[in-house]
């Protein structure tokens, strides 16, 4: 299936299961454009994978939902066009017929498995419902089928997992449940809307392999919505690129990834951070040897046993049952960061990377160990003692929407730190305006409020805010993970420029190895609160020593495409 | 396993409730000391005046001449032994008085809870399912009006319209004392008397739950899991009944727990308006008679009631929502 597509001359599939013709979806009158999807035509062939790629607002999810007619009507509605499933027009089908199609002939996998599953119902029952609606099987028979499907998606111990609630499963397991849900009746087509975006990179690799395997096994057609070109390189047969509700490029995966025609596609592909580690801007010898940040044996534990009323606990043993097991979020971490270097702290969710950063900036108090910032011991330091140090360490936060006060003008947000450090308000405001220009916004943006800016612009404001107090160390906690690919690249380049211009030391926290490779020369890999590997990015990428680092590296979707520059071999994920 | 943990949870909560209730008792005791006058002055005043020696004598008899802390200590000791003292005013033990008034109040509270929670849930769902139709508008407008109208006014208007003008329901009391109904006839009679006070007491919360339920059902219908259910091919009816309803009930249950506390306060007004022989009315009377023993007893019982209801609400919550873990780790 994957061998012949490179030379396939036609964009459309030869044996289509699904054929979308001239589909337009209308937005409500108050939206910024009249149509979410504009005369779009696509086909998905039997047993093939079509990846639909686009940034936020491209209309890709709306298109996917209109196939099943689960748009939030009447705000969003199909305005015109046909959606042909084996020749039957779903756009005109009756509600009754649509219910037969949903789950039976076309199934859908959603992005966030936690919110896509009913939290109050066992996962087995949630799949059982599909069988109940679409078949006349008995209860025992349905249960057997659910367990068999769980086995199919390689969920551990399917017999007990059927009776588990969604919160009792991990993110990856929940997404396997969603996939099992889509597969249980072997539909003709599965529509998957960003099914791996919310998952960790190693889990993502597993889920992608699983989807691909199951697709081959059952011969199901797959429409895979994503923003990630790595994923496209990994699983697509053909690719459709969407922008502003329109199709801008459509072709086989080889054509689109290696010879993109449309300038937008080219820009998108160029914006994907390279997996090839960059060269150090300053030769290593030129860096001062003395570290600006020294961490020794740092520890932070969450959820310690409750300390209240120990005598009562002894008296009445059952009172003590409420205590939680302690979680070591940061476990004996040693770290040296030299002045002017850029270090990436890489790890999956729950690895303790954010907690470590929050301890270093004083948002969390470490339990044990030592951390020296420019020679000042910060572990155990009081809040008032921290205050003069605040100007030395600053942080750029992950979520550009939640981290700026919506009721405060941008200028005040940026100037406030400098004023607290003793600058006069006028000087601080003038500096804020300069900083806004420095990060690529206009000086008059200072008079506006955060909601008037896009996500990327807000992250620039966040960076300007951090720079306002002239810090030595900039800690960036996943600063680009909430941004679209093209914006991501701009923000990363900005951080890199500023760092050189001001001689900043940067601690860059990320889950994305590509991003790490793009901005940092050094890399530290964290797992379960402990450092498993550290060194120069180039060395680690070329020759990872630790098993976990190897797994992380091999899980990056589309790495072969990027490293070899081509994707003309079928991919395997280890 | 889960059942075991639930039992342990309830026992723990009951143990934790003891200091809470005792704290309430101490606080109430000290607060009542701030009120001017005591039972002795009131008794003397009602007798048309009395020499100071007689008042002192009364005080000594009631134990009111001792220092406040000693009085408090004695009271706490008695509470622990479940001895709530004696009401000199009514010439009967406090516990006996309270227990006699407890069940009418519980009856009124129970009926009110059923009407307000049950009615609110049903009306809220009906309004949400027909959002922006005439049904929704009608329910929402009625809810806003009921929400904004004061309790005592509703009570008086109901009496005026349904009792005096239409003569459908009795104006006051819990039963027809001269008719000497027995058995089933008595039940019907009490139910007949119950209608107006229940409506008065439940209208506000009925409106509150209707609005809350309408909002949560709308929110939950837009949730991703509802979209998933739609994508599975379920009918709208099945989505609402099986998925949305249970999720939407959670905030209502929380609110109902809060309501029980407020119900006791509301019942003072309603029991007075309808001459309902319950705890609220007793509290009202004992306050004016400076019958602090009785008042403290009522407060104590109310505190116990609220604590117990809160535990019940928590248990319902645990049963409704599997995400809530009781008794720590699984």
User: Taking the mean position of all CA atoms in its chain, how far away is CA A500?
Assistant: 28
CB contact under 8 A, B233 and A70: no
pLDDT in tens, B166-185: 888 887 777 777 767 777 88
Q: What is the dihedral of CA A248, A251, A254, A260, to 10 degrees?
A: -30
Minimum-distance CB partner of A321 among B8, B231, B322: B8
Smallest CA–CA distance, residue A218 to chain B, in Å, is: 19
**pLDDT tens readout for residues A30-58:** 877 888 999 999 999 988 999 999 888 88
Q: Where are the domains of chain A?
A: 14-266
CA-based nearest distance B219→chain A, Å = 13
Q: Please state, in angstroms and rounded to a whole number, the distance separating the CA atoms of residues A333 and A359.
A: 12
Contact list, B235 vs chain A (CB under 8 Å): 99
How many contacts, defined by CB atoms under 8 Å, are there between A and B? Answer: 89
Cα angle A101, A105, A108 (rounded to 5 degrees) comes to 90
Cβ-defined contact of B247 to A119 (cutoff 8 Å): yes
* Mutual angle of helices B279-288 and B292-320, in 10-degree steps: 150
Cβ of residue B232 closer than 8 Å to a chain A Cβ: yes
Residue B229 contacts A, CB cutoff 8 Å = yes
Q: What is the pLDDT of residue A228?
A: 87
| Closest Cα in chain B, distance from residue A220 (Å) | 17
Check CB contact under 8 Å for B323 and A322. Answer: no
Q: Distance between CA A268 and CA A484 in Å, rounded?
A: 10
The answer to whether the CB atoms of B12 and A165 lie below 8 A apart is: no
Chain A residues closer than 8 Å to B224 by CB: 110, 112, 115-116
At A329, the pLDDT band (50, 70, 90 cuts) reads confident
What's the pLDDT score for residue A319?
A: 45
Binding-face residues of B in 290-319 toward A, CB within 8 A? none
Q: Are residues B196 and B159 in contact, defined by beta-carbon separation less than 8 angstroms?
A: yes
Please report the pLDDT score of residue A22 as a whole number.
92
Domain chopping of chain B, boundaries: 2-93, 102-288
Residue A62: how many CB atoms within 10 A of its CB? 21
> What is the percent of chain B with per-residue pLDDT over 90, rounded to a whole number?
18
Three-class DSSP labels, A346-393? ECCCCCCHHHHHHHHCCCCCCCEEEEEECCEECCCCCHHHHHHHHHCE
**Which of B228, B232, B246 is closest, CB to CB, to A120?**
B246
Hey, what are B45's tokens? 């005043």
Quick check: B325 contacting A, CB < 8 Å?
A: no
Q: Mean pLDDT of all residues in chain A?
A: 85
Options 3.40.50.300, 3.40.190.10, 3.20.20.60, 1.10.287.80; CATH of A14-266: 3.40.50.300
Contacts of A121 in chain B (CB under 8 A): 242-243
pLDDT in tens, chain B (330 residues): 567 778 888 888 888 888 888 898 889 888 887 777 776 777 777 767 777 787 788 777 777 777 778 888 888 888 888 777 777 777 788 888 888 888 888 888 889 999 999 999 999 999 998 888 899 999 999 999 988 888 778 888 888 888 888 888 887 777 777 767 777 888 888 888 888 888 888 888 899 999 999 999 999 988 899 999 999 999 988 999 899 998 999 899 888 888 887 787 778 888 888 888 888 888 888 888 777 888 888 888 888 888 888 888 888 888 888 887 664 443
pTM above 0.95, yes or no: no
Radius of gyration of chain B (CA): 24
Q: Using the predicted structure, report yes or no on whether residue A490 has a pLDDT greater than 90.
A: no
Q: How many angstroms separate the CA of residue B235 from the nearest CA in chain A?
A: 7
Taking the domain B102-288, which CATH number applies?
A: 1.10.3720.10
- Contact assignment for A115 to B322 by CB distance below 8 Å: no
Contacts with A, B 13-52, CB within 8 Å: 15
pLDDT at A282 over 60: no
Cβ distance of B225 and A119 shorter than 8 Å: yes
Which of these ranges, A143-157, A260-274, B312-326, has the smallest mean pLDDT?
B312-326
Task: Count CB atoms within 10 A of the CB of residue A388.
Answer: 11
- By C-alpha distance, the chain A residue nearest B248 is A120
- The average pLDDT across A48-76 equals 89
Q: Which of A38, A26, A105, A35 is nearest to A72 (CA)?
A: A26
Residues of A in contact with B234 (CB under 8 A): 99, 129, 133
């Amino acid at each position: 299936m994957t061998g012949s597509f490179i030379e396939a001359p036609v964009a459309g599939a030869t044996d289509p299961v699904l054929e979308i013709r001239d589909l337009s979806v209308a937005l409500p009158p108050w939206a910024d454009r009249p149509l979410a999807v504009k005369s779009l035509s696509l086909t998905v062939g039997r047993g093939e994978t079509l990846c639909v790629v686009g940034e936020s607002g491209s209309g890709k999810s709306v298109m996917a939902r209109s196939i099943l007619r689960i748009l939030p009507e009447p705000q969003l509605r199909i305005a015109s066009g046909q959606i042909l499933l084996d020749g039957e027009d779903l756009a005109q089908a009756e509600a009754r017929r649509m219910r037969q199609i949903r789950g039976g002939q076309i199934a859908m996998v959603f992005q966030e498995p936690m919110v896509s599953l009913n939290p109050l119902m066992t996962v087995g029952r949630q799949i059982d419902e599909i069988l109940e609606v679409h078949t006349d099987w008995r209860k025992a028979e349905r249960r057997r089928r659910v367990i068999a499907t769980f086995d199919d998606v390689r969920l551990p111990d399917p017999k007990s997992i059927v009776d588990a609630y969604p919160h009792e499963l991990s993110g990856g397991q929940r997404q396997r449940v969603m996939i099992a849900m889509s597969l249980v009746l072997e539909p003709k087509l599965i529509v998957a809307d960003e099914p791996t975006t919310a998952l960790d990179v190693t889990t993502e690799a597993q889920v992608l392999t699983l989807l691909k395997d199951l697709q081959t096994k059952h011969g199901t057609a797959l429409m895979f919505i994503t923003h990630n070109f790595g994923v496209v390189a990994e699983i697509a047969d053909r690719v459709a690129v969407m922008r502003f509700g329109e199709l801008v490029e459509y072709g086989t995966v080889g054509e689109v990834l290696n010879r993109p025609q449309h300038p937008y596609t080219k820009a998108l592909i160029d914006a994907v951070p390279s997996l090839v580690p960059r060269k150090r801007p300053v030769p290593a010898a030129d860096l001062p040897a003395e570290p600006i940040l020294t961490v020794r044996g740092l520890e932070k534990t969450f959820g310690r046993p409750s300390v209240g009323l120990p005598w009562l606990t002894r008296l009445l043993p059952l009172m003590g049952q409420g205590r939680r097991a302690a979680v070591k979020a940061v476990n004996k971490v040693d770290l040296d960061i030299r002045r002017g270097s850029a270090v990436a702290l890489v790890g999956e969710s729950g690895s303790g990377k954010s907690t470590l950063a929050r301890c270093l900036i004083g948002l969390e108090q470490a339990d044990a160990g030592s951390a020296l910032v420019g020679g000042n011991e910060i572990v155990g330091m009081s809040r008032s003692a921290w205050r003069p140090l605040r100007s030395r360490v600053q942080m750029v936060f992950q979520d550009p929407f939640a981290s700026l006060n919506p009721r405060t003008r941008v200028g005040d947000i940026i100037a406030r730190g400098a004023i607290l450090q003793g600058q006069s308000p006028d000087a601080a405001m003038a500096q804020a305006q300069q900083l806004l220009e420095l990060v690529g916004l206009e000086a008059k943006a200072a008079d506006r409020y955060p909601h008037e800016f896009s996500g990327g612009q807000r992250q620039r404001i966040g960076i300007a805010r951090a720079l306002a107090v002239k810090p030595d160390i900039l800690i960036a906690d996943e600063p680009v993970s909430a941004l679209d690919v093209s914006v991501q690249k701009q923000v990363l380049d900005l951080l890199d420029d500023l760092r050189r211009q001001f001689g900043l030391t940067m601690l860059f926290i990320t889950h994305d190895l590509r991003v790490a490779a793009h901005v940092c020369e050094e890399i530290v890999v964290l797992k379960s609160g402990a450092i498993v590997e550290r060194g120069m990015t180039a060395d680690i990428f070329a020759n990872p020593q630790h098993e976990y680092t190897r797994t992380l590296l091999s899980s990056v979707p589309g790495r072969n495409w990027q490293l070899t520059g081509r994707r003309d071999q079928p991919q395997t994920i280890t | 396993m889960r059942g075991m943990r639930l039992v342990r949870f309830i026992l723990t909560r009951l143990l934790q409730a003891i200091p809470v209730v005792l704290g309430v008792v101490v606080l109430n005791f000290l607060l009542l000391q701030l009120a001017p006058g005591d039972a002795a002055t009131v008794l003397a005043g009602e007798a048309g005046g009395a020499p100071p020696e007689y008042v002192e004598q009364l005080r000594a008899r009631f134990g009111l001449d001792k220092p406040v802390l000693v009085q408090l200590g004695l009271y706490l000791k008695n509470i622990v032994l479940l001895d709530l003292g004696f009401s000199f005013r009514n010439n009967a033990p406090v516990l006996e008085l309270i227990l006699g008034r407890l069940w009418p109040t519980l009856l009124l509270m129970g009926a009110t809870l059923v009407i307000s929670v049950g009615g609110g849930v049903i009306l809220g769902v009906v309004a949400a399912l027909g959002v922006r139709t005439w049904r929704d508008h009608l329910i929402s407008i009625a809810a806003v009006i009921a929400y904004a109208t004061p309790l005592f006014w509703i009570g008086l208007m109901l009496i005026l319209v349904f009792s005096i003008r239409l003569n459908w329901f009795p104006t006051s009391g819990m039963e027809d004392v001269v008719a000497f109904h027995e058995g089933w006839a008595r039940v019907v009679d009490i139910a007949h008397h119950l209608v107006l006070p229940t409506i008065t007491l439940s209208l506000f919360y009925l409106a509150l739950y209707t609005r809350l339920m309408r909002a949560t059902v709308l929110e939950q219908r837009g949730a991703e899991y509802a979209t998933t259910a739609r994508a599975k091919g379920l009918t709208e009816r099945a989505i609402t009944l099986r998925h949305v309803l249970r999720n939407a009930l959670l905030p209502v249950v929380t609110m109902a727990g809060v309501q029980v506390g407020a119900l006791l306060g509301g019942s003072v007004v309603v029991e007075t308006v309808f001459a309902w022989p319950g705890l609220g009315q007793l509290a009202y009377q004992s306050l004016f008679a400076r019958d602090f023993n009785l008042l403290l007893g009522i407060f104590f019982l109310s505190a116990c009631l609220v604590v117990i209801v809160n535990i019940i609400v928590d248990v319902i919550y645990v049963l409704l929502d599997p995400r809530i873990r009781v008794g720590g780790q699984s």
